[in-house]
Chain A
Amino acid sequence: MTKIGVLGLQGAVREHVRSIEESGAEAVVVKWPKQLDELDGLILPGGESTTMRRLMDRYGFTEPLRAFGKSGRPMFGTCAGLILLAGEVVGYDEPHLGLMDIKVERNSFGRQKDSFEANLSIKDVADDYNAVFIRAPHIVSAGEGTEVLAECDGRIVAARNGQYLGCSFHPELTDDHRITAYFVKMAKQAKALLAHS
């Protein structure tokens, strides 16, 4: 069975676990770097990106996570997780993991009072997707190898760059598991590919 980890340092971990299981894969809560070895894919959940980064640094997660991505195994970042994956973060000199060829801006829709739900069309996933945005970031620009999957109000809110998938919103907060299922499929395909090489 495809095994998907959820980085379990802080945030909406339980919801992602449920969504992974609903999508027919096995879910693992990852609290320590050594757990990464057994995984076929990893979700970086929503939460507070600054908190997750502090904890990642303290427990030596940063390099193992970069190595995980570079090994070709898929990673999916939602909201705070998208910020962790990005190659560039507006207003910061250094990115966090710097894996995905996108530039993101934090809290770009405003404060909590501006948080919202919206109906989206997500390429290859769904054309009627109810997305929940909470103090959400957005993708300011995407590199050449990055495919834009969804936009909201003229801003990029979901994209894929090879094995990296990212979105501004929180698929884990609804019962719609289609985007998680899409990621599980990415992990399954990568697993088959890596087994052959």
Chain B
Amino acid sequence: MADKPRIKLPKEAKKGEIIQIKTLVSHLMESGQRKDAQGKPIPRKIINKFTCEFNGKPVFSCVLEPAISANPYIQFDARIDEEGTFKFAWTDDDGSVVTAEEKIALKA
């Protein structure tokens, strides 16, 4: 399964500021189109869903298909109205979920 995801976001933001969040998770994203040396199709195994929540409220999510490159990189924005915690989750085809958390504080 995937390694620890890499997430980049500022440590603090002004109230109402829109910040950019960059995420990258290591995953082969096997498309199901490729064949092995014996000519047998390699079964599909991808991250099919990504979600981001802030203090329990949905911020951004996406459904991914095999047409997403290996080691899926997702960049999006979030508006910060209060301090709190971002929760990120990547769901694999095999049902496993990789999660990560990041805190953000309000700038005085």
A associates with B:
no
